[in-house]
Every structure is written in C-alpha cells, then in structure tokens.
Amino acid sequence: MRCLFVIGLAVGLTGSWACVASAQEDASSILRAADRARGNLDGIKWKVTLTTVDGGRTNAMAFAVQARGFDILAETIAPARNRGNRILMLKGNMWFHKPDLSKPVPVSQRQRLLGTAAYGDIAATDYANDYDPKPLPDEVINGEDCRVFDLTARSKKTTYDRIVYWISKKRLVGVRAVYYTVSGKKFKSAEMEYENAARIGGEVRPFVSRMVIRDLLMGTDTTTLLFSTPDVADVPNSVFDLNLLAR
Amino acid sequence: MPDEEGFASALWREAVDGLNCTARVVSYGMLQEPVESALNAGNVFNLPADRLESDVRADIRLRLRRLDLGVKPRFDLKWEKWDSGARAGDSDFDTDCHLYGWTAMVRLPWELSLACGRENLQWGPSYLLSPSNPFNENNGRYSPKFELPGSDYARMTWTPDSEWTLSVIAAMAGRQTALQGIGADVELPDSRRTYAVKIDRTIDRKFVSVIASQGEGTEPRLGFYGGWNASDTMILYVEGSLGKDGTGQSDAEFLAGSTYTLSGGGALTLEYFCNENGLVDGPITAAVMPLRMSDAREVFLRRNYLLLQYADPKVFNRFEVTLRGTAGFDDMSVDVFGMIQYDWGDHAQLFAISAVNSGGPETEFGSLVSYFAMAGVQYAF
C-alpha cells in the first residue's frame, strides 16, 4: 500500500513538473514568437520616427536603424540639429556619439531617448530569455483574444524589472505592455501595432509598425514610435565596430 | 550597351542614396581672463581676452558598396583681442579654410577593412581624459564646441564577429596638452609616427580593450580600458596605461570611474585619476621643464584628480545641461565647468558655456585662465 502511495506520488509529482515545464516552454515559445515581430532578426534596416506630446508641446525625432539580433546602430536623421547623433547597442553595452563629442560615451539603457521612450524601446526585445513568465488570465484587447504574462526580470541587467505583457493568441505578437518600477508602481504603458511585414527565410512575418508609450506616473507624456517597412539585409560586423562610431 | 547603361544608372542611384551631407555653422563670443603666473608670466602664451568666431563645418560622406569616403572641410572667421602680455591692445582678424579631416575606407572580404585619413582618433569610456590613448589623451573636455586637431593615420581592421575587433594603426601622434582650446599660442615639438595594435572584446554588458603602442624614439606603452554595465543604471569602468617616460622612469596612469543614470534621465559620473609621475607638490612650473623633455603626452601634470559630473541631455525635452567639477588634490585647485544648450526649432541650438578655475597662480588649474565664458548659436542645415 505504501509502495503504491509512493509510486502514485512520484507519478503525480512528475506529471505536475511536466505540466509546469510544458507551460513554461509554451510561454517561452509564445514570447519568442512575439520577440521576432519586434526586431529579433539576422539583419534588418528600417527608419523609426518618434513623436512626443508633453503638456501640449510636440517634439519629433527620426532615426535610421540597422540591427542584427539585439545589436543596433541608430543614427539620427531628423531634426537637422541632431543629425549625425548615433547610438550603438552592442551585446547590452550602449554608446552615444554626436558631432560635439570627441569620442563616444557609454550610456545606460535607462537613458531617455525622447519623452517616455528609452533607448531600449527601439532595440529588439528578448523577453523570452530575459524574463520569467507567469501566466495570468486571458483578456481581450481591442477585440483580440490575448494571452497575458507577468514577466519578472531574471537579472538586474534588463531595462525593466517587471512587465505585464498581452500577446495576441491568433497573431502571436505583443499588443500591449505595462511596465513597473522596482517598487511595483506602474510607470508607463505601451500599445503596439503590426502593419508591417518582413519576409524572412521565405516566410512573411508581421513586424511592428507603431508603438504608443504613455507615462502613467505624470499622465501628460505620450510618445509615438512609427517603424517603417523593414529592409531585410545583411548587416556587416563593421557596422557595430565602436571604433567607427565617431566617423 | 544597354547593360552598361543599366549598370551605370543603378550605380548612380546607389551613390545618390549613399551620399550624406551635413553642414553646421557654429558662431560664438568668448571672453576669458588670463592669469599672471609663473607659468604664464606676462601672458607668454598670448591667451586672448576676447574672441568672436564663426565656423562653417561641413561633413560629406559617400557610402558606395564596399567604399566609404568622407571629407570634413572647415571655414573659420575669427577675431581676437589681447589685454595683456606682448600683444596687449592688439586685435587680429583671421580667416582660415582647411580640411579638418578626411577618410577613405574600403571593406575587403573576410571582414577586413583598410582605412586612411585624418581623424581625431579617440576611444575609451572616461570623461576626464583618455590615458589609454597613445595618440591623444586630451578628449576635449574643456569645451565641446572646439574641435581637437586630427592625426593623419592608416588603419587595418579585422572584425571576425561582433565580439572581437583587431586594429593595427599607424598615426602621427600630435602633442596635445591642456593648452588646446583656450587659444594658447604655444609651440609644441613636432608630431611623431606612432604604431598601435588594439584588440577590442565586447561580451554581455562588458567591454575590454588592450592597446600596445610605440612611438618613434619613445618607449613602448601598454594601454587598456574596460567597463561593466552592472545594471541598467550603473556603469563601472577603468582606463589606463603603463610604460616609461623619456627619462626611463616608470610612467603609469590609472583612472577608475562610474556613471549612474537617475530615473529622470540625468547621469552622475565620478572619476578618480592617478598620474604616477605627476608633480605632488611645489609650483606647477616645476613640471613644465620635465614635460618639455619628455614625450609631452601629459594632459594633467600633477598626480591625483577627481571628477564629478552631472549631465542631463533632455531637460524638458529642450535643454541639455552639464555641470562638472574637477579637483586636483595635490595643489587643491579646482576647475568648475557648466554648459547649457537649448534646442531652438529644428535647426538651431543656443549654448552657453563657462568655466571657473581656482587655486591660485601656482596651481595647475589656476595658472592659465581664471575663468572663461562663451555663448553662441549652432545652426544645422
């Protein structure tokens, strides 16, 4: 009897572990699919336009971005006064250069880009590897059934400590995100649209076209990122050479 | 023939797409007060008291397939006036047209590239200076609106992947000192050819570089820098070099620093720099003669320095603010620097920069100018 009990317990525990592992794998694969729609590609070039409305005043910037994996080189192309400014993100290290500087300077990912957008917001996401997902009850966002995950950062190196992320069940793209501070306070939210498409390996995938970020603390800032149709192209190693950033 | 025309037409379109031109006009007025000191007795460096300057700075770049070409012509109008020294009462108006820099780079197979040109070869994470740089330790911290002179160079680079870069560089190392940027009329020894091999490694949130170099007629030096993104808000870094000076004495330099980014976007930076054979006590003039005998690499002449800086590039999405204090602990002199820049429309930026140096005429920071202030406008086309 005792033997049957132990066997039953072992089977039950194994089954539970398998279910948890399967759920985690399911969550990871969903996050990975969503990451692919936000820039996790072998080589891509596109333009990103940021517009921020702060207390009724509008500011705008445009960038030419080259990306490979999670490495990016973003060069400011508008407004004219900022043309030539560059941001290089390489293996989680960020460097900034502008014509007034004699050399690039290291900056942290928290550094603001414009309005409520951080430099990490124009980079590719790697939520599948950087965060532990905890499934939350499904919700409907803008008429779309979504899986919802509470993402907790696996290390202190990520841009955000905690994110609640809504992923469309049908399209497997992230449609909404709410970002939290270390103290657990909501401080900004983002909504994403995927009108662009990129042909990768013969397969056409949806790609992010618009992201609207709202400041939830002050409630006055809204930043809109518009992503152009991506140009899938090889990006050579020299693009990410820090020695060439100041040229 | 039609194929040739098609090829020429496609090449022309690529060239047009790959051509990038920017032009800026930087106009400012500057005033400064030269100090009567043992180092600058009778304003021997002919530091001007007033300056009005307008610079046209164009950057033209063409990227065409494996070719990357760039030129940076400059046209300057400058008026200066002297209140002290041999040129007291003089004023001078000057125009200058020159090529500030140029680059020709070709990307070869196997991730190799060859480049030559004239460029201000700079690297490293530090704000105070770049002690790992055998070509130019002065990183222009004195005023961001002044362009540091470039060096003629040739470089071969191999980037087998995004983690590693190997560079072999031959350049004419200029004799850059802290006198650059304040209009000092100083004769420095001729530049010398310097060779360097630089290895860069970038991994997850860390970077490290090692630079082995030797200039003609000088001892070899080993430079290094490294950094670690300890979190999304904190960067820790070190930079330095080891070698011997012109007299055979050990000449090591070491800098340690950190930058913390606040939630509002401003960043606090703290750096400590130690110059092994810097002057610990005595008047600053005691460092000048050995300096002239050595390879004149030194940007700072004493031993121990501390930098504290606050920089915010986006105050109300319109202003850029930098406040910086540099203290020389050996003679207790201090250099306080402030800059504010305002974005005016899509093309213009208004700026005001000021620095105050204290400590007295025998000290490093107090021996040349007691203060300088400049204000101007930068317009980008």
ipTM of the complex as predicted: 0.91
For chain B positions 120-149, those within 8 Å of chain A (CB to CB) are 120, 122-125, 127, 130, 139-140, 144-145, 148
Which one has a higher pLDDT value, A22 or B216? Answer: B216
Mean pLDDT of all residues belonging to chain B = 88
pLDDT tier at A46 (50, 70, 90 boundaries)? confident
Q: Is the pLDDT of residue A140 over 90?
A: yes
Q: Which one of B60, B102, B162, B259 would you mutate to disrupt binding with A, by most A Cβ within 10 Å of its Cβ?
A: B162
Which one has a higher pLDDT value, A46 or A116? Answer: A46
Mean pLDDT calculated for residue range B262-279: 91
Long-range contacts of B17-20 (CB under 8 A, 24+ apart): B18/B62, B18/B63, B18/B64, B19/B60, B19/B61, B19/B62, B20/B59, B20/B60, B20/B61, B20/B62, B20/B63
- Angstrom distance (rounded) from CA B51 to CA B79: 6
CB contact B109 to A (< 8 Å): no
Q: Is the pLDDT of residue B140 over 90?
A: no
Give the residue from chain A lying closest to B126, CA to CA.
A105
Q: Name the minimum distance, in Å, from the CA of A155 to any CA of chain B.
A: 9
The pLDDT, as a whole number, for residue A11 is: 65
Do B200 and A243 make contact, defined as CB atoms within 8 angstroms? yes
- Closest to B22 measured CA to CA, from B300, B313, B347, B372: B347
Q: Is the pLDDT of residue B329 over 60?
A: yes
CB contact B7 to A (< 8 Å): no
Do A114 and B317 make contact, defined as CB atoms within 8 angstroms? yes
Residues of B with Cβ-Cβ distance to A180 under 8 angstroms: none
pLDDT in tens, B233-248: 899 999 999 998 878 8
Mean pLDDT calculated for residue range A147-176: 89
The pLDDT, as a whole number, for residue B286 is: 74
pLDDT tier at B1 (50, 70, 90 boundaries)? low
Out of A34-38, A241-245, B292-296, least confident range: B292-296
Q: Is the pLDDT of residue B291 over 60?
A: no
- Closest to B134 measured CA to CA, from B198, B70, B64, B43: B198
Do residues A140 and A120 touch, judged by C-beta distance below 8 A?
no
pLDDT tier at B293 (50, 70, 90 boundaries)? very low
Burial (CB count <10 Å: 0-12, 13-18, 19+), residue A105: buried
Q: Which one of B22, B232, B318, B346 would you mutate to disrupt binding with A, by most A Cβ within 10 Å of its Cβ?
A: B232
Q: Is the pLDDT of residue B65 over 80?
A: yes
pLDDT tier at B277 (50, 70, 90 boundaries)? confident
Taking residue B281's Cβ as centre, other Cβ atoms within 10 Å add up to 9
Q: Is the pLDDT of residue A21 over 60?
A: no
Q: Of the spans B3-7, B214-218, B319-323, which averages the highest pLDDT?
A: B319-323
Mean pLDDT calculated for residue range A36-44: 74
What ranges make up the beta strands (E) of A117-193?
A: 117-118, 131-141, 144-153, 162-168, 174-180, 186-193
Do residues B272 and B257 touch, judged by C-beta distance below 8 A?
yes
Do B317 and A71 make contact, defined as CB atoms within 8 angstroms? no
For chain B positions 298-327, those within 8 Å of chain A (CB to CB) are 313-314, 316-318
Residues of A with Cβ-Cβ distance to B198 under 8 angstroms: 243
Which one has a higher pLDDT value, A203 or B190? Answer: A203
Do B380 and A91 make contact, defined as CB atoms within 8 angstroms? no
Q: Is the pLDDT of residue B296 over 80?
A: no
The pLDDT, as a whole number, for residue B185 is: 55
Q: Is the pLDDT of residue A188 over 90?
A: no
Mean pLDDT calculated for residue range B106-121: 92
Out of A88-102, B95-109, B151-165, B278-292, least confident range: B278-292
Mean pLDDT calculated for residue range B209-229: 94
pLDDT tier at B188 (50, 70, 90 boundaries)? low
Mean pLDDT of all residues belonging to chain A = 84
- Angstrom distance (rounded) from CA A104 to CA A243: 9
Do A106 and B24 make contact, defined as CB atoms within 8 angstroms? no
Q: Is the pLDDT of residue A40 over 60?
A: no
Q: Is the pLDDT of residue B151 over 90?
A: no
Q: Is the pLDDT of residue A125 over 90?
A: no
The pLDDT, as a whole number, for residue A156 is: 66
Out of A149-163, B25-39, B290-304, B323-337, least confident range: B290-304
The single-letter code of the amino acid at B75 is F
What is the share, in percent, of chain B residues with pLDDT greater than 90?
Answer: 61
Out of B28-42, B153-167, B179-193, least confident range: B179-193
pLDDT in tens, B351-364: 999 999 998 888 88
pTM above 0.80, yes or no: yes
The pLDDT, as a whole number, for residue B252 is: 94
- Closest to B132 measured CA to CA, from B299, B246, B266: B299
Helices (H) and strands (E) in chain A, counts: 2, 18
pLDDT tier at A97 (50, 70, 90 boundaries)? very high
